[in-house]
Structure 1
């Protein structure tokens, strides 16, 4: 994940959304919950990057 951030593959709004999603858990020291909460946004960001083109790849 760090590599994707460093090479500019993720946009700023995506990173802000990810940070907001895990901020509460990180600040309260619940790192397992933060990791679990990060799964959804990371999958959506990844899908937006490599997902099918228009008309599902036709």
Structure 2
């Protein structure tokens, strides 16, 4: 299975990245710091950050 990574998926540009960050914050009721937002370079990193913020990780 191919991993989804920033800049490897044509649709994942800078606007798509910020849309993803906002969607994560809204869906999981978390606030990501600018450093967290910049660190999201893959689905796995996003899932780990959400887990840390929600106590599930």
Using the size of structure 1 for normalisation, the TM-score is: 0.34
Higher helix content, 1 or 2: 1
